[in-house]
Chain A
Amino acid sequence: MFKSTTYNFSRTVPGQAALFLRNYYIYFVLIAVIAFLSLANLDRFELFERGNFLYEKNIINILRVSAPILVLAGAFTLLMVSGYIDLSVGSTMGLSAVIYAMLAINGVSFWAAFSITAVCGALLGAFNGLLVVRFKITPVIATLITLSLFKGIALLLVQDGVSAIKSMGDLRMPQWFNDYGREGVLMGLPMAFWVAVGVTVVLIVLQNRSLLGKYAAATGGNPTAAKLSGINTSMIVFVLYAIVGMSAALAGIARASFMSLGDPLSGDGMELTAILVVLIGGTAFSGGEGKVLRSFIGALIIMTLTLGMLTLVPAYYQTLVIGAVLLGAAASNHFISRKDHAS
């Protein structure tokens, strides 16, 4: 490794094919997954018929269900690019869902409830940032602590005897609560999906055109060098945690709207999905490398695969498939990045 960088500069430049593969393989994977799923049931249904994968309503449904992970993937990528991780996103989601549902059921208007929840999410994320940056706790431990903490708070907010905030007795969920995640506003897709697209676009711009993106990559690539060249890495990390917290809150809102209840456990396991999606997107776990857009595509792949699989095999295959995909993605990440060291 040292030899190739020291003596042979031409070898560090990857070949055309390797570069193309590295930049675009994710799209091929998505196309392959879609092609596989739409052809798998062809013996029973027509290509665009009800029951087949490419049936319009089915695609809309998959995108609707994917809104939470789509809105979260971008911010999570930026955080991982800077070399940090947040395991508390699932609990942040659950807590935000509860807060949002409580506000909605008590008659707060949509925009107020939405912004209050988003701010709460940012604060929860900032709390993570505080533990990591100020108290210098290792990210994994710090966010394991808050995973437990936020989940506990969310469970306490829901009164005893009920499992989630929902319409009960006189208290009714307003209509907009459910519409946000389900009712199509543009091309048959709901607000929640378009918010996810909007957030992703903003983050892509942030990553490619702003100092935040540049500094995040610098922090992840070589923290010491970044610090020495005058970057306030603590500030960058703190801001990134806040952004992840806010995205997790938006994910919680999307999930709460879709299920039309504020379930404190609705985000459980989201940290795994987020890690999976970001890895599939080719982000290096050690930091320094990764693209928001690729994670977005990675999220589409995972959701397509998990939901599409349901038409082929029973639901209890899901964990196995996701685990295998995670290992496969990690291994292929390894081989692809090794390839451009070698070629």
Chain B
Amino acid sequence: MSVSIKADTALIDNRRMSDQMYITLLVASVAIGLFLIASMLVPNFFQLQNMLNLVTNNWAVISLGVGVSFLLVSGNFDLSVGGIVALSGVLSVWFAQSIGGANALSSGLGLPYWLALLAALAGALAIGGLNALFVVKFRIPSIIVTLGTMMVARGIAQVITQGSQRNTNLPDDFGLLGSLKVFGTSIQLPVVFMAALLLVAIFIERKMLFGRLTYWIGANPTAARLSGIDNARHITYLYLFSSAIAGVVGILLSSEFQSGYSNRGMLMEFDALVIALLGGIAIAGGFGSVIGMFFGAIILAVVTSAATGLTLSPDWQFILKAVAVFLAIMAQTWALTRRNQ
């Protein structure tokens, strides 16, 4: 008896870092290491402004990554976020455009600005609800469902913009949100949104029941259900959150560019997935962290911007991305098996 108790205390020994923390640290050090290597190779890379740019230029994908990460941890995909970005952006423009423009593309519904934004967000949430309905209720694999809703969301955006974009007849304050500077600095509102989102997400993930339940469900859905967790409701919330984030990103982007463009956010869903995977989130669920995802995004940003800095042809980006993901995945698997031998 006493032996087994000893074994138990050894298992919950807090001095040993958790695997998750270990991987997160690994990803962070890879990101920093890559940054240092790039600084040596690329002139003017090692500058404070450049470090900031690596983060701020990627605010959209990092924000989307938060929702995608939570869903991945719970064992589900969300590939619809890119489509939702296009949809909510186009909707916000369409709703805000005043009635009676010169042609079909320049006349909208003429709602007040705040109402247009809320309605656009509702549109985004509807797609999230659709995801949840198909995944939770019909139990169709999430990768299929969210591929479908991605196309539906983008498809609706394309129908509204007739395959092009809407950018005329907008109210004067439409561009406000996307270009608002904070406290006289050069930091824009979208970046603040991303930072706040990250902090909230980390808090939820680490300190709140909701976050811990996500890991439970991802690690073993059956066990979670049998221990009284309402998996269905939890995953529904996660899809709604993810689509809400994507909706806000779409609205901010359309405000920044003062246009609703149906091809905006193209392939963003794959980038969000890739940074989450680079950040050490296991595709099988139950493992990973938002901090890891953030550093995954940094890895990708360093690789792509270093490639541009080395004046390689932009075609190299694809190959570098592939190599970076491959190495990151292999390193994580290798580190974990080595550690747990």
- Classify the interface of chain A: helix, strand, loop or mixed: helix
A156 touching B148 by the CB < 8 A rule?
no
A316 touching B134 by the CB < 8 A rule?
no
B144 touching A323 by the CB < 8 A rule?
no
Q: In chain A, what residue has the closest Cβ to B312?
A: A156
Within 8 A of A (CB), among B313-339: 313, 315-323, 325-326, 329-330, 333
* Bound CA–CA A326/B326 (angstroms): 30
A141 touching B163 by the CB < 8 A rule?
no
B residues sitting closer than 8 Å to A (CB atoms) are 130, 134, 138-141, 143-145, 147-156, 158-159, 161-163, 262, 270, 273-274, 277, 283-284, 313, 315-323, 325-326, 329-330, 333
Beyond A151-B318, A322-B151, A323-B150, is A316–B162 a contact (Cβ under 8 Å)?
Answer: yes
* Bound CA–CA A317/B161 (angstroms): 11
- Residues of chain B lying within 8 A (CB to CB) of residue A169: none
A314 touching B318 by the CB < 8 A rule?
no
Number of inter-chain CB pairs below 8 Å: 119
* Bound CA–CA A143/B161 (angstroms): 33
- Residues of chain B lying within 8 A (CB to CB) of residue A334: 138-140
B333 touching A136 by the CB < 8 A rule?
yes
In the complex, A324 has a CB within 8 A of chain B: yes
A316 touching B148 by the CB < 8 A rule?
no
Q: How many residues of A contact B (CB 8 A)?
A: 40
In the complex, A229 has a CB within 8 A of chain B: no
Query: Smallest distance from the beta carbon of A288 to chain B beta carbons, Å?
Result: 13
- 12 CB-based A-B contacts, threshold 8 Å: A135-B330, A141-B325, A144-B270, A144-B273, A144-B274, A151-B318, A152-B320, A155-B318, A160-B313, A286-B141, A323-B153, A330-B144
B316 touching A152 by the CB < 8 A rule?
yes
B325 touching A316 by the CB < 8 A rule?
no
B158 touching A316 by the CB < 8 A rule?
yes
- Residues of chain B lying within 8 A (CB to CB) of residue A140: 143, 283
B151 touching A326 by the CB < 8 A rule?
yes
B152 in complex: contacting residue of A135, A137, A155, A327, CB < 8 Å: A327
Within 8 A of B (CB), among A309-330: 314-324, 326-327, 330
Within 8 A of B (CB), among A214-251: none
Beyond A145-B325, A156-B319, is A323–B148 a contact (Cβ under 8 Å)?
Answer: yes
- Residues of chain B lying within 8 A (CB to CB) of residue A145: 322, 325-326, 329
B152 touching A156 by the CB < 8 A rule?
no
Beyond A314-B162, A327-B149, A334-B138, is A152–B322 a contact (Cβ under 8 Å)?
Answer: yes
Query: Smallest distance from the beta carbon of B302 to chain A beta carbons, Å?
Result: 16
- Residues of chain B lying within 8 A (CB to CB) of residue A155: 315, 318
A285 touching B144 by the CB < 8 A rule?
yes
B144 touching A326 by the CB < 8 A rule?
yes
Query: Smallest distance from the beta carbon of B61 to chain A beta carbons, Å?
Result: 15
In the complex, A29 has a CB within 8 A of chain B: no
B148 in complex: contacting residue of A151, A315, A327, CB < 8 Å: A327
Query: Smallest distance from the beta carbon of B118 to chain A beta carbons, Å?
Result: 24
- Residues of chain B lying within 8 A (CB to CB) of residue A148: 318-319, 321-322, 325
* Bound CA–CA A319/B156 (angstroms): 8
- Residues of chain B lying within 8 A (CB to CB) of residue A330: 134, 138, 140, 144-145, 148
* Apart from the given pairs A131-B326, A285-B144, A320-B152, 20 other A-B contacts in the complex at a CB distance below 8 Å: A137-B326, A144-B270, A148-B318, A152-B315, A152-B320, A316-B162, A320-B155, A320-B158, A322-B151, A323-B148, A323-B150, A323-B154, A324-B152, A324-B155, A327-B134, A327-B148, A327-B149, A330-B140, A331-B138, A333-B140
Q: In chain A, what residue has the closest Cβ to B151?
A: A323
* Bound CA–CA A323/B82 (angstroms): 14
A323 touching B152 by the CB < 8 A rule?
yes
- Residues of chain A lying within 8 A (CB to CB) of residue B149: 323, 327
